A and B are shown apart, each in its own frame.
Chain A
Amino acid sequence: MTETQNGLPGSPGAGPILSVRNARYVYPRGDVVALEEISVDVPVGQSLGIVGQNGSGKTTLTKLMNGLLRPTSGSVIVDDLDTARHPVQVLAAHVGYVFQNPNHQLFAPTVADELAFGPRNIGVPEAEIAERVAEATEFFRLGDILTLHPYRISFPLRKLVGIASIFTMRPKVFILDEPTTGQDHRTTNTINRLIHELVDRGSTVICVAHDMPLLADVSERLIVMWNARLIADGTPREVFADRAVMERTHLAPPQITQFSMQLPGREGRAPALSLDELVAEYRTPGRLAGKEA
Chain B
Amino acid sequence: MATEPYIAIADLGFSYAQGTRPALTGITLTVEQGEYVGVIGLNGAGKTTLGLCLNGIIPHMLMGEQTGTIAVAGKDPGVVPVREMARIVGMVFDNPEFQMSQVTAAEEVALGLENLGVPYADMVVRVAEALAIVGLTGYDERSPMGLSGGQQQRLAIASTLAMKPSILFMDEPTSNLDPIGKEEVFEIARRLNRDEGMTIIVAEHEVEVLAEYADRIIVLHEGRIALQGTPTEVFSQVDTMAALGLRVPQVTEFAYRIAGLGAGPVADPGARAGTAPGLTSPVAQLPVKLSTAIEWVGARG
B41 to chain A, nearest CB (A): 8
A177 to chain B, nearest CB (A): 13
Taken together as a complex, chains A and B put the C-alpha atoms of A252 and B148 apart, in Å, by: 20
CB contact under 8 A between A255 and B42, given known A182-B94, A264-B298? no
Residue A138 at the B interface, CB < 8 A?
Answer: no
Instruction: Of the listed stretches B76-84, B223-231, B243-251, name the one at the interface; the rest are far from the partner chain.
Output: B243-251
| CB neighbors of A among B265-297 (8 A) | 265, 269-270, 290, 293-294, 297
B165 to chain A, nearest CB (A): 25
Chain B residues in the interface with A (C-beta under 8 A): 42-44, 94, 148-149, 172, 175-176, 178-181, 183, 205, 208, 245-247, 249-251, 253-254, 257-258, 265, 269-270, 290, 293-294, 297-298
Interchain CB contact (< 8 A) of B245 among A53, A186, A251, A264? A186
Residue A2 at the B interface, CB < 8 A?
Answer: no
Interface of A is mostly: helix
**Are the CB atoms of B258 and A282 closer together than 8 Å?**
yes
Total contacting residues, chain A, CB less than 8 A: 33
Interchain CB contact (< 8 A) of B43 among A187, A250, A263? A187
Return the CB mask of A245-280 against B: 1 if under 8 Å, else 0. 000001110111011001110000000000110110
A195 to chain B, nearest CB (A): 15
Q: Which residues of A contact B294 (CB under 8 A)?
A: 259, 262-264
A141 to chain B, nearest CB (A): 11
**Are the CB atoms of A185 and B205 closer together than 8 Å?**
yes
**Are the CB atoms of A185 and B42 closer together than 8 Å?**
yes
**Are the CB atoms of A250 and B290 closer together than 8 Å?**
no
A258 to chain B, nearest CB (A): 6
Residue A121 at the B interface, CB < 8 A?
Answer: no
Taken together as a complex, chains A and B put the C-alpha atoms of A14 and B177 apart, in Å, by: 39
A160 to chain B, nearest CB (A): 13
**Are the CB atoms of B172 and A182 closer together than 8 Å?**
yes
**Are the CB atoms of A55 and B251 closer together than 8 Å?**
no
A60 to chain B, nearest CB (A): 15
Q: Which residues of A contact B257 (CB under 8 A)?
A: 275, 279
Among B149, B180, B249, find the residue whose CB has the most chain A CB atoms closer than 10 A: B180
Among B175, B176, B179, B181, find the residue whose CB has the most chain A CB atoms closer than 10 A: B179
CB contact under 8 A between A53 and B42, given known A185-B245, A264-B298? no
Interchain CB contact (< 8 A) of B148 among A54, A254, A262? A54
Q: Which residues of A contact B183 (CB under 8 A)?
A: 250
The 7 lowest CB-CB distance pairs between A and B, nearest first, are: A182-B175, A256-B250, A54-B178, A255-B250, A186-B245, A185-B247, A184-B42
Q: Which residues of A contact B290 (CB under 8 A)?
A: 255, 258-259, 262
Taken together as a complex, chains A and B put the C-alpha atoms of A183 and B269 apart, in Å, by: 14
Taken together as a complex, chains A and B put the C-alpha atoms of A183 and B204 apart, in Å, by: 10
Q: Which residues of B contact A53 (CB under 8 A)?
A: 178-180
A212 to chain B, nearest CB (A): 9
Task: Specify the chain A residue showing the minimal Cβ separation from B44.
Answer: A154
Residue A155 at the B interface, CB < 8 A?
Answer: yes
| CB neighbors of B among A155-190 (8 A) | 155-156, 181-187, 189-190
**Are the CB atoms of A182 and B176 closer together than 8 Å?**
yes
Residue A210 at the B interface, CB < 8 A?
Answer: yes
Q: Which residues of A contact B246 (CB under 8 A)?
A: 184-185
CB contact under 8 A between A263 and B249, given known A186-B269, A189-B269? no
**Are the CB atoms of A250 and B270 closer together than 8 Å?**
no
Taken together as a complex, chains A and B put the C-alpha atoms of A68 and B245 apart, in Å, by: 38
Return the CB mask of A48-83 against B: 1 if under 8 Å, else 0. 000001110000000000000000000000000000
Residue A143 at the B interface, CB < 8 A?
Answer: no
B290 to chain A, nearest CB (A): 6
Q: Which residues of A contact B245 (CB under 8 A)?
A: 184-186
Q: Which residues of B contact A190 (CB under 8 A)?
A: 270
Residue A213 at the B interface, CB < 8 A?
Answer: yes
10 A-B pairs besides A184-B43, A259-B293, A282-B258 with CB distance below 8 A are: A53-B178, A54-B178, A182-B94, A186-B269, A250-B180, A255-B290, A259-B294, A264-B294, A275-B250, A279-B258
Q: Which residues of A contact B249 (CB under 8 A)?
A: 255
Taken together as a complex, chains A and B put the C-alpha atoms of A181 and B254 apart, in Å, by: 24
**Are the CB atoms of B205 and A184 closer together than 8 Å?**
yes
A72 to chain B, nearest CB (A): 24
**Are the CB atoms of B175 and A250 closer together than 8 Å?**
no
B199 to chain A, nearest CB (A): 25
**Are the CB atoms of A251 and B253 closer together than 8 Å?**
no
